[in-house]
Amino acid sequence: MGIGIQVEGLTKSFGPQRIWEDVTLEVPAGEVSVLLGPSGTGKSVFLKSLIGLLRPERGKIIVDGTDIIQCTAKELYEIRTLFGVMFQDGALFGSMSLYDNTAFPLREHTKKKESEIRNIVMEKLDLVGLGGDETKFPGEISGGMRKRAGLARSLVLDPQIILCDEPDSGLDPVRTAYLSQLLIDINAQIDCTILIVTHNINIARTVPDNMGMLFRKHLVMFGPREVLLTSDEPVVRQFLNGRRIGPIGMSEEKDESTIAEEQAMFDAGHHDGGVEEIEGVPPQIQATPGMPERQAVARRQARVRELMHTLPPAAQEAIRDDLEGTHQYHASAFGETVEAPRHRDDDAPTGVIPTVDSPTVETRTLER
Ligand SMILES: Nc1ncnc2c1ncn2[C@@H]1O[C@H](COP(=O)(O)OP(=O)(O)OP(=O)(O)O)[C@@H](O)[C@H]1O
Ligand SMILES: [Mg+2]
Across the chain, what does the average pLDDT equal?
A: 82
pLDDT in tens, 242-255: 777 777 776 656 67
Longest dimension (CA), the chain: 68
* Higher per-residue confidence, 319 vs 25: 25
pLDDT for 253 equals 66
Minimum-distance ligand to the CA of 213?
1
Residue in 13, 41, 44 to alter for ligand 1 test, most ligand atoms within 8 A of Cβ: 44
The stretch 216-229 carries a mean pLDDT of 91
More confident residue, 159 or 362: 159
Closest ligand to Cα 164: 2
Residue among 10, 12, 14, 239 to mutate when testing ligand 1 (max atoms within 8 A of CB): 14
Q: Beta-carbon neighbour count of residue 250 at 10 Å?
A: 8
Q: What pLDDT does 267 receive? A: 77
Ligand 1 nearest atom to the CA of residue 42, by list position: 18
Report how far ligand 1's centroid is from the alpha carbon of 39 (Å). 8
Q: Measuring from each residue's beta carbon to the nearest atom of ligand 1, which residues come in under 6 Å?
A: 14, 19, 37, 39-45
Ligand 1 mean position to 41 CA, how many Å? 7
Q: What is the pLDDT of residue 346?
A: 40
Q: Encode burial over 309-337: b for 16+ CB neighbours within 10 A, e otherwise.
A: eebeebbbbbbebbeeeebebbbebeeee
Render 141-191 in DSSP notation, one character per residue.
S-HHHHHHHHHHHHHTT--SEEEEESTTTT--HHHHHHHHHHHHHHHHHH-
Q: Which residues surround ligand 2, an ion (CB under 5 A)?
A: 44
Closest ligand 1 atom to the C-alpha of 199?
A: 25
User: Looking at the predicted structure, is the pLDDT value of residue 352 above 50?
Assistant: no
| The pLDDT of residue 244 | 76
The rounded Å distance from CA 190 to ligand 1 centre is: 31
Report how far Cα 341 is from the mean position of its chain's Cα atoms. 23
CA 206–ligand 2 middle distance (angstroms):
21
**Residue 7 pLDDT:** 97
